[in-house]
Each structure stands twice: as structure tokens, then as C-alpha cells.
Amino acid sequence: MCEIVFFARNSIKRNFRVRERRHFVSQFPAQRSRYSYTRVLQDSDGGFFEKFGDLLRQKSQYEEHTFETSLAPFRDEDKSDDGSCTDSGLTKDANCVEVEVQSLHSVSAVENISEALFDKGICMNVDDLYEEILFEINNNIGCDLSQEYTKTMVEFAQEVFKMPNSTHNEILEIAKNKEPPKIRLNVEIIKAENLLPKDSNGLSDPFVTLFLESNSSHRYNSSVKTATLNPIWEEHFSLPISEGHREEALIIEIWDFDAAETFKEKFNKILDVRGVRGLSRLMKEIAVTASSGKHDNELIGRTVVTLKSIPISGLTHWYNLEKGTKTKSRGSVFVSVALSAEKNKNVAIQEHKHLLKLLLIHELDTSQVANYWWNGKFSSMAEAIRTQHAVQSGLSSYDCAVSQWHAYSTVHETHKLSFILFNSILDILVPTINCLQNDSEDVKIFWDGAKRILPSCFSVLRKLRLKNIGDNKILKALSDVLDILAKIKTFEIPPEIDIFPSTVYGWIEKVNCEESNNIDTIIVDAINNGAKDWFEHIMEGSKQIKDNENDEEKLQYLIQIIQMIRSDLQRAMEYFDKLFYHKIRLNYSTILYLFYDLKLTEMCKAIVIGVCSNIKMLDVPDDQFEYLPNIDNVNMGTTLFEAYLVLKRYIVLGLSLSPNDKLQMSDFYQWFERGVTHWLDISVIKALNRIQKAIDLDQLHAVDETVKYSSSAVDTLAIFYQIKIFWQQLDWPEVEGSYTFVAKIVNDICRCCVFYAQRMSRRVESLTKMGEDGDMFMLSEEWCLAINNMDYIRQSLPSFIKELGSEDVIKRIGEFRSNLEAERCTNTIKAVIDNALDTQRNQIVELIEHVAHKMSPPIRRFLTEGAEVLHKDSNSMERLMIYLEQSLETLYKTLNEVNFSRILDCIWAELSIIIYDLIQLNLDKRRPPAFFQNLRETLRTMISCFKIDNAVTDVKILLEIETRLDLYALETSELIHQYYLDRLKYQKEESTAIFGQLAISAQFTDSEVTLKILNARNLRPMDKNGLCDSFVKVSLMPTNRFIGFTSFKTAVHNKNCFPLYDEQFSVDLKEDQRKNGNSLILFNIKDKDLFGITSQHIGECYITFADLRACQEEQILMNLCRPEYSDSMALRALENRQGDKQAKDFLKKLRTKSTF
């Protein structure tokens, strides 16, 4: 047996030394082991947590991406047949918008054309211009053109002017024969007033015809001003004066244009006119009709200006109109006339404008240029004509630019020209316009042109989304438009011009009517309007099922809208912001965001709050976990969470775009509060279910060699980790809510931990129920792993909670509220965690106790057998040691230190009970001391085996048991001696001497001891006289050690409580007697009574040889005491020896003694 004990001791010692502290290092962030069942668990509930974690985030980002690329469908009309945008609803709706846009266009087109028509009435004197052009071609300057080239030019001109051959030849002839005029009469017909009404409506449609008296067939016509008696023309004419002009007179006639049939017919035709070709034809017809005199026009009046009356500086004058001899006032006309040697510049410019229009119309007509495409480049022939006219009329580049501005802007109304063109014209115009007076002619032309161009510019801003962003043209166009706007907005708009007529700018938000519109406000309006169109478009486009929409669809709808808005913003930031800022110092995407903010808040708030209020409360299990609810069919709120994340990201974008604005959306999270509690409820239910599943799947094998826990622990922490990711994703923006939610999560996780511990215990307990055979419980690794699992989870809890960032939240509460509140929050979290830790610890300890308890029966059996038959050749001790060693080895290898020592304690507790029971049982069986000796040996063996390095265990209880065994193992005489030793101990502890004291001294020699009985003090009086008659009796103990020794007595000292005995005795001692230090000398002080029959006991005292030897030659003063039948262990042991005569006698004697 000794060998085995030795072996056991060594092996455990060895184990202790090589012990590594390697497990329970918090290997936290969900390391996925190949042994873990994470994947299975995910599948078990459809990956609930994963959805709430990374997957959802990835999804939302992914969708943003796809939306970005699918923005293309919202395109321009001329690309609507582009096959690339097959993306379901979006395309369809893009088309809707296109139709709308087109109809807008067509409405304005009609207006524009009718307006343009009257303006283009100027072209009525097209023959003159034609003549001029032909004349110029014939007399072209600058470069030598061959005759042939001249011919083609003439042909081209005829084509441009659409001249019928007869007229062409006629005019060509005139032009050929025409002498270069020396003097010209430059006329400006400014306006007329109070004209005589000629039409049934009380108005007239006046136009001016002027001609020289000498050449009445060559008439110059102004445009027709419809339905007015106070027309304003401001038109220029240049009439060549032949020789002998002094008698010449200028006739100015104002006619009522009343080509009743012709005009109306033609006007009606205008409504049907489409495109440049038709327009130009019509205009020409009208012009021909007007100038050929074949009309029903009615003369309103005429006036004659003689050239003689015109001073060289010119004349601006009102002329009364006359007709024949009629005296009735026919109105007056305001005319400016001047003579000059060459063509008046105003006339030239006017001619140039007309020429440009004609050339451009022809150009567009022949080359089929697309809208927004023509950038000012004519065909070479047209360019030649244009330059000839410019040069021969002496026009500067600025003059040309003014003409171009006018002409091109007019054409732009019906056929869109490139913005580059206008931008470059502006470059020339701006410096000069800048220096002009507001009322100058050019300024007026400038604003007229601007008025015609601006709608299309704003249209570009509004329709930015119509273009595919991959198309560079949109950026180029935007860049030019912004340049144009930037240039125009440097000028103050003249107050008399209504540059933003409401008919054209119907889309302007009439929010602030008081403020007058300017370019800047209209730009913002245009941007907002574009955003509004886009918003409405996507709202409609995404709304597929309008009726019976369920919450899920509503949320999907919301997400889709936001993603698209977001894409729009991203596109704005990526492509447009830079342009807007560089060109006009405008933060485009900020304007957009602020616009969307309002709209989205309205929409989202309604949807989210609606959805949240529909959430049904879940049946969350309480802390006892009697059942786990099945929530497979419950709406997980994933989409709601997705919406939350999307909105959150959206608001982050907003904060970066406009950090200074109060965004409506910034309170969005409040709408989700109910949702969050729902998610938390779901998570806890899902987590509990997953934990249960993880435990069911757990084979209770160590995950790998480096750790000592099994798969369910890893899986459970992975579940917690998922909850953490959810929490991080949630990232609740407001601190008080954040705290409350984190408190809830902490509470939930704590509950999960407790649940894990509970279920882990059950699992491992069920394990043995199946495999248990008989009373031989074999401790397996599974038990240890279960304990370790629980402990691992428990120990991971605080650090995990820390990872949730609750401390940070509380810190913010401290800043937001006060330290007091923060402290209370901290305490709450701590209390919740501590509760969970305690509960788990208790569960661990419970399981450990359970294990120890299971080990108890075999140990008991071995021990009982062992003690019974120890003296024989039995192997039960051996078997016990093997059993213990095996168990302890498993425990030791697998458990951590804390739990190992816990289980040691528990095993010891069990052992103590077993041994105690054994002692009790065998006392009852009146076992001989030898039995207890054996038992004590067994105990010591086990102590040395178990307890080597483990001082923490409760030694006291072992000492008690050991002492007890020591006692029971003693022979009776030794037991009696033990009783006296106990007495001595008691005597030493007693501080007061109620029975008096005895003084002695002693001296040891080699062969004897000499005792001096000196005196006694303060003896308790025994006699009626209050004194006593005392003597001392000395005995040596134990008696069997001093056989042959008889006690001796001193003389009696009568009536004295302080007797002076002063007697000396010597006792011969053998060496072994002398050396035995625990031998006792008993001093009995008795009162001798009158009759001398019995002596009354006053008191007694003891001293050991050891003490005596230590105090040689000194006076030793001892307190007296009286023997008592006290509840001492030695006495109880003696009581148990009922069959022992010695014990029986001793007890009897003691009882008698103590009855005194």
C-alpha cells in the first residue's frame, strides 16, 4: 500500500509542477473553431443575428451601390428608346416624366413661336436684305473670289432666302446695277401713339411702311404690332439717297395690317408649324404678302418728312399722321431721322441679326443638327456671307456678338442651340455691357436674349437627372449653363423687365412672394424643382402596390426611396458639387439634402411609427426559463432595422453636408424606440434558443488542445458577439436611450449566461443518468468540460460587457446629466452583472458539489472495506487510491485552479462526512482502538496524497477528525492520561484561582526528582469556622508508567487557609520514566475532616515533567481546580468503551469526585 501511496503522491506532485495556466485566457472575439457549431446554429434560426450584424450592413451598402448604377433610367427623351434601361418600373416612369417634359416643351414652343413670329416680322423687308446681300456678294471685299465662286454664293444666298427665281433675278439685277450709295437716310421708327383704331375690336395691327418720294415702289416695312394703338417698334432703316436729294422727302405710312384672309390663315398655320423649315417658309410667305402690297391693309395715316428739314445732327420728332384731307386725329409717330454717308450701324446690326437668323435657319434646316448641338459654326458659304456682311457693314466683334445674342437666342427658343455658343458670346458681351447705361439699346437686347435663354438654362438644372451621368455632355452642358448664369447674374436685372414671366416659370415655388426673384433664387428653385420632380418620380416608381401594402412592403419602399435619394446625393456630390461651387459658389448637394430632408422626414416618420405601432409584443421567457417560446413565425423586424441603418447612414451624410442646419430627420431614431425593444426581445429569445441548440449539439469534447472547454461555450460567446455587433450597428445616437438599451442588453446577456449554466448542468447530469452503472461513478472529462464551459462563460461576461461600451455611455450620461446619475447607472449595471456572476458561480459550485457527491459512494465503499480489513491483505485501499487518483488527475488536467480547489474542497467535504460516519458507526460497534488506528493511517495517507500543495483547504476540519481518530486509537490508560492532560490545559487557561493556589519547586537529578511542597494560598474554606485543615497528596501519572510508586502526603495543617507545608520528597526515576515529558504529577489538596474517615477535596493541580524540568529551582505557583465531569472528547471516548473495565472504573470514580 505504501508504494501506491508514494506513487499517487508523486504523480500528483508532478502534475502540480507542470501545471500551466493556459485555459480561460479570454480568447474572446468569437474565434470560430472548426469544432464549433456556429454554422449549424445560424442555419437553425435563419441567421437572425447575422442579418442584424454584418450581412445587413453589407446589404445596405451593396444596395446603395446598385442604386447608384441604376440611376441611369431617368433619362432624356431623345434617349428614351435606348435599350439599356430595362430596369422594370423605373423605365416606365422615366417615360412618364419624359412625356410630361415634352408636353411642357410643346406648350412653351407654341408661345415662343407666336412671339418669335411678330419679332420676325422684321424680316418682311427680306427683299431689301437680300438685295443688300447680293450686292455685297458682288462687291465682296477682303478676298478675291472667282466669278464662279460668286455664282455659287449667289445660289446659296437664294437658297437661304428662299427666293423664287423671278424675284431673285429682279433683285439680282438691281443689286448688280446698284451704285454704292454715297448718302443714306437712317431712320429709326421708334413708336407711335393714339393711332386710329381700324379693326372691329377697337384696335389696330399697325406696321410702318416708309419710302422715298422719288422711289415709291421701294418700300421698307416694319414688323406688325398686333392689337395696339400705341405700338413700339424701335426699328432701324437705312435708305440710300440718290443725287438731288435736297428735294427728296421721306414718306412714313402707318398701316393697319389686315390681311384678313391671308394672315389669319397663315397665323393659324403657325400653330401647326413644326421645325425650322416650316417656320421659315411661313415667314417668307407672310413677308411676301406684306411687301408686295397684295393685301387688304388699310392706311391709318401718313406723314412726310422733307430731307431739307433734317439737320446734319439728325432729328427726333413727333409727326402727326394725316390721311388725305381728313381732319380727324389719326395719331402721331415718333421718328428719329439722320443723314449719313454710310449705313447706320443700327441698321447694319438689324440686318446682321436677320441675316444670322436666316443663315442659321438654313443651316439647321440643311444639316439636321440635334438640339443643344449647334455651337456657332456655319458652313463655309454661310460663314462667308456672314463675314462679308459684318465687314462691309463695319461691325465690330461686339456688334456681331450683340446680333448673335439676339438672333441665336431667338432661334434657341424653337431649336435649342449649344450652351457653349451663348457662353462664348457672353464672353464678348459682358465687358461692354458692363459699361453701358441701363437704358441703352444693347442692354435691352441683352436682357431680351437672356430672357429667352434662361428658361433653357434652368431647365438644364431641373433636368439634371434626365441624363445618364456617364454622358460627359451633361457635365459640359451644366458647366456652360453655370457659366452663363454666373455671367448673367453679375448684372442687375432692370426693374422694368419681367425676366421671369410666370407663364414660363410656372414651376417656381411660390413660397416667398414678397421677395423678388433673382437669378440666385431661381437657381435654388430650379434645383429644388428638379429634386421635387425626381422625388415624386421615384415615389411613384417605387410604389408598386398601392393598396393593401403591408408593413414589410412599406419599409422596403422607404428603404428604396432613401437609397435612391442617397444615390442622387452621391451623384450630386461626385459630379455636380464641384461645378456648382466653382461657378456660382453654391453647395448643390446641401440644397438638395435640405430639400429631401423635409420630404423624407414626413414620409419616413409616418411609415416607421406606423410599423412600430403594429409590432406585437413577444412572449419573452422570465428568469426561470421554464420554456423557450418559438418565434419562427414572428416578423424579425429585419427590414425595420435595415431601414434604421439606412436612415442612420443617411443622416450621417446630412450632417457632413450641412453641419449647421437643424435637420428634420435628426430625430429619426425616436421613431424606432419601440422597434429597438422588439429587436432586443427577439435577440434574447433567439439567443436562448441558439444556446439551447448549441448545448444539445455539444459533444463535450474540448474544442482543441489548447483550451479546455467545448463547442457550446464558443458558440454561446459567438452569439453574444453577434448581439454586440447588433448593438454597435444600432449605435443609438441619444445617450439616455443608449444607456437604457445597454442596460437591457446587459441584463439579457446576463440572463443568457445564467441560462447557459443552467442548461449546461442539466445536459451533463443527463449524461450520467444514462451511462451510470451501479454505484461506481467514473468521473469523465465531460463533467470537467461542463464546469469549464460554465466558468468560461462566466469569466468572459465582464469583459464582454465592457466591450459593449457601457462605460462610455455612462460617461456621457455624466456629462449630459450629472455624476450622481452616472453613478446610479454604473451601480445598476454592476448590480446586474454581479447578480449574474453570483448566480453562475452558484451554479458552478452546485455542479461541483454534485460531482463530488457522485464520487462519494465509491469512496465510501472503498474506505469502509479498507478500514474493516486493513490489517488483512486487502486491495481496497489500493483501489481507493487508484480511483481517487484517476478522478483527481482528470479533474486536475481539465479544471482551472479555482474550480480544481473547489472540487477538492467538495471531495474533502464528502470524505469528511464519510469518515465521520465511519467513526460514528464503528464507535457504535465498539471497535477496538486498533481499528481507529487503521482509519487514522488511511486518513493520513489520503491527506498527504491530496493536500500537498493545497493549504487553502479547510485544515481545521481535518485536524478535528484526526484528533478524534487519535483519541479513539488510544489505549484506555492513554485515554485517561489524555483526560488529565486536558485538565492541565484547562488549569493553565484558568486565570482566576477560586479554590486557591499551590506553590512548589522541583529539581531533577540523574536518578531522581526532588519535589518541595512549599505552601498553599487562599484555600477555599471547607469548615464551618471558615478555615480548613489541609494536606497535599502527590501522585504520578499515568500510573502504569510508574508501577510501584505509591503516592505520598504532607502533614495536615489545621485551621489555616495559607498553610506552610514546606516538605520535600524524592522519587527515584528510571531513565525512560524521567525522559517521558508528558508524565504528570498530580497534587491533590484535601481537607481532613474531624473523624478522619473521608477527606474532602479542596482542589487539585497538575504539572508535566516537561514543565517541571523547564522550571527547575524556581518556585512554581499553580491554580487549583476541581475535577469536573466535563464534556471533553477524551471522556466521551472513554464513555464509548463500555466493555472496558478500566474505563468504566475511571469514569465511575470521576463522577463521584465531581459530585462534591
Partner 1 sequence: MTNMRPPQKNKLLKVIILGDGGVGKSALLTRFVSNRYEENNFHTIGVEFMNKDITVDGENYTLQIWDTAGQERFRALRTPFYRGSDICLLCYAVDDRDSLRGLRLWRNEFLNYADVNADRFPFIVVGNKNDIRPDKRQVGREDVQQWCAEQSIASHIETSSKTATNVTDAFVLGLRQWKTMECVAEAEQRQNGDTIDLTRPIRLMQRRSCCTGGGGSGKPTDVVDADDDDGQIADAAMRSPSSMSRHLFGQARSSPKAPSTNYRL
Q: Cell numbers at residue 882, please?
A: 487508484
How is residue 1094 annotated by DSSP? S
CA dihedral of residues 999, 1005, 1006, 1011 (deg, nearest 10): -30
* Total count of residues recorded for the chain: 1156
The secondary structure of 471-525 as a DSSP string is -HHHHHHHHHHHHHHHHHTTSPPPTT---S-TTT-TTS--S-SSSPP-HHHHHHH
**What residues from 1059 to 1118 belong to the interface with partner 1 (CB under 8 A)?**
none
Binding of residue 962 to partner 1 (CB under 8 A): no
Select 444 or 744, whichever has its Cβ closest to partner 1.
744
The phi-psi region of residue 496 (left if phi > 0; otherwise alpha if psi is between -120 and 50; otherwise beta) is alpha
Q: Residue 285: which residues within 8 A CB-CB, separation 6 or more?
A: 266
Binding of residue 677 to partner 1 (CB under 8 A): yes
The phi-psi region of residue 695 (left if phi > 0; otherwise alpha if psi is between -120 and 50; otherwise beta) is alpha
Binding of residue 549 to partner 1 (CB under 8 A): no
**CA angle, corner 925, sides to 923 and 928, nearest 5?**
70
Q: Using omega within 30 degrees of 0 as the cis cutoff, is the peptide bond preceding 858 cis? A: no
Distance between the two ends of the chain, CA-based, in angstroms?
52
Distances (CA, A) of 951 to 900, 955, 1035: 13, 8, 43
The distance of closest approach from Cβ of residue 620 to partner 1 in the complex, given in angstroms and rounded to an integer, is 5
**CA angle, corner 743, sides to 57 and 717, nearest 5?**
60
Taking residues 774 to 813 in sequence order and writing x for each that binds partner 1 by CB under 8 A, - otherwise, the string is ---------------------------------------x
Binding of residue 1128 to partner 1 (CB under 8 A): no
Select 690 or 902, whichever has its Cβ closest to partner 1.
902
CB 1143 within 8 A of CB 1134: yes
Antiparallel, parallel or unpaired: β 997-1004 and 1008-1017: antiparallel
Select 504 or 923, whichever has its Cβ closest to partner 1.
923
Binding of residue 1003 to partner 1 (CB under 8 A): no
Can you tell me which of 825, 884, 1002, 1014 binds partner 1, judged by CB under 8 A?
825
- Count the neighbouring beta carbons within 10 Å of the beta carbon of residue 464: 26
| Rounded Cα gap, residues 897 and 899, in angstroms | 6
The phi-psi region of residue 376 (left if phi > 0; otherwise alpha if psi is between -120 and 50; otherwise beta) is left
Binding of residue 821 to partner 1 (CB under 8 A): yes
**Residues touching partner 1, count (CB under 8 A):** 58
Select 255 or 739, whichever has its Cβ closest to partner 1.
739
Select 935 or 1057, whichever has its Cβ closest to partner 1.
935
Amino acid, res. 999:
A
- Segment near partner 1 (CB under 8 A); pick from 420-428, 475-483, 624-632, 931-939: 624-632
Amino acid, res. 490:
T
Binding of residue 954 to partner 1 (CB under 8 A): yes
Binding of residue 743 to partner 1 (CB under 8 A): yes
Select 443 or 618, whichever has its Cβ closest to partner 1.
618
**What residues from 833 to 852 belong to the interface with partner 1 (CB under 8 A)?**
834-835, 837-839, 841-842, 845-846
Q: Residue 178: which residues within 8 A CB-CB, separation 6 or more?
A: 131, 135
Binding of residue 64 to partner 1 (CB under 8 A): no
From the list 638, 628, 649, the residue with the least C-alpha distance to 675 is: 638
Select 850 or 1017, whichever has its Cβ closest to partner 1.
850
Can you tell me which of 831, 930, 994, 1060 binds partner 1, judged by CB under 8 A?
831
The distance of closest approach from Cβ of residue 721 to partner 1 in the complex, given in angstroms and rounded to an integer, is 22
Q: Residue 48: which residues within 8 A CB-CB, separation 6 or more?
A: 636, 682, 683, 686
Can you tell me which of 307, 680, 976, 1108 binds partner 1, judged by CB under 8 A?
680
Q: Which alpha helices (H) appear in 318-396, and where do they start and end?
A: 345-367, 380-392
The distance of closest approach from Cβ of residue 608 to partner 1 in the complex, given in angstroms and rounded to an integer, is 13
**What residues from 745 to 774 belong to the interface with partner 1 (CB under 8 A)?**
747
SS3 of 71, please? coil
| Rounded Cα gap, residues 858 and 887, in angstroms | 12
The distance of closest approach from Cβ of residue 65 to partner 1 in the complex, given in angstroms and rounded to an integer, is 34
Binding of residue 960 to partner 1 (CB under 8 A): yes
- Count the neighbouring beta carbons within 10 Å of the beta carbon of residue 157: 24
The distance of closest approach from Cβ of residue 942 to partner 1 in the complex, given in angstroms and rounded to an integer, is 17
The distance of closest approach from Cβ of residue 833 to partner 1 in the complex, given in angstroms and rounded to an integer, is 9
Select 696 or 917, whichever has its Cβ closest to partner 1.
917
CA dihedral of residues 910, 912, 913, 915 (deg, nearest 10): 120
CB 352 within 8 A of CB 389: yes
Select 85 or 919, whichever has its Cβ closest to partner 1.
919
| Rounded Cα gap, residues 41 and 52, in angstroms | 15
CB 371 within 8 A of CB 415: yes
Can you tell me which of 243, 272, 515, 622 binds partner 1, judged by CB under 8 A?
622
Can you tell me which of 263, 739, 783, 1105 binds partner 1, judged by CB under 8 A?
739
Burial (0-12, 13-18, 19+ Cβ within 10 Å), 407? buried
- Segment near partner 1 (CB under 8 A); pick from 344-352, 415-423, 894-902, 1038-1046: 894-902
Can you tell me which of 234, 322, 441, 619 binds partner 1, judged by CB under 8 A?
619
- Segment near partner 1 (CB under 8 A); pick from 161-169, 740-748, 870-878, 1104-1112: 740-748
CB 481 within 8 A of CB 467: no
Binding of residue 824 to partner 1 (CB under 8 A): yes
Select 269 or 841, whichever has its Cβ closest to partner 1.
841
The distance of closest approach from Cβ of residue 610 to partner 1 in the complex, given in angstroms and rounded to an integer, is 15
| Rounded Cα gap, residues 222 and 210, in angstroms | 9
The distance of closest approach from Cβ of residue 944 to partner 1 in the complex, given in angstroms and rounded to an integer, is 20
The distance of closest approach from Cβ of residue 1009 to partner 1 in the complex, given in angstroms and rounded to an integer, is 39
- Segment near partner 1 (CB under 8 A); pick from 187-195, 579-587, 659-667, 828-836: 828-836
Residue indicated by cell numbers 418559438: 630
Residue indicated by cell numbers 419562427: 632
- Segment near partner 1 (CB under 8 A); pick from 348-356, 734-742, 765-773, 875-883: 734-742
Provide φ and ψ at 894, rounded to 5°. Answer: -100, -40
Burial (0-12, 13-18, 19+ Cβ within 10 Å), 1008? middle
Can you tell me which of 548, 624, 660, 1025 binds partner 1, judged by CB under 8 A?
624
Residue indicated by cell numbers 489541609: 1030
Select 516 or 827, whichever has its Cβ closest to partner 1.
827
**What residues from 898 to 937 belong to the interface with partner 1 (CB under 8 A)?**
898, 901-902, 905, 909, 912-913, 916-917, 920
The distance of closest approach from Cβ of residue 10 to partner 1 in the complex, given in angstroms and rounded to an integer, is 28
**What residues from 588 to 617 belong to the interface with partner 1 (CB under 8 A)?**
617
- Segment near partner 1 (CB under 8 A); pick from 285-293, 494-502, 586-594, 738-746: 738-746
| Rounded Cα gap, residues 401 and 280, in angstroms | 23
Select 245 or 744, whichever has its Cβ closest to partner 1.
744
The distance of closest approach from Cβ of residue 670 to partner 1 in the complex, given in angstroms and rounded to an integer, is 9
The distance of closest approach from Cβ of residue 898 to partner 1 in the complex, given in angstroms and rounded to an integer, is 6
Select 590 or 896, whichever has its Cβ closest to partner 1.
896
Binding of residue 511 to partner 1 (CB under 8 A): no
Q: Which residues bind partner 1 (CB under 8 A)?
A: 617, 619-624, 626-627, 673-674, 676-677, 680-681, 736-737, 739-741, 743-744, 747, 813, 817-818, 820-821, 824-825, 827-828, 830-832, 834-835, 837-839, 841-842, 845-846, 898, 901-902, 905, 909, 912-913, 916-917, 920, 954, 956-957, 960
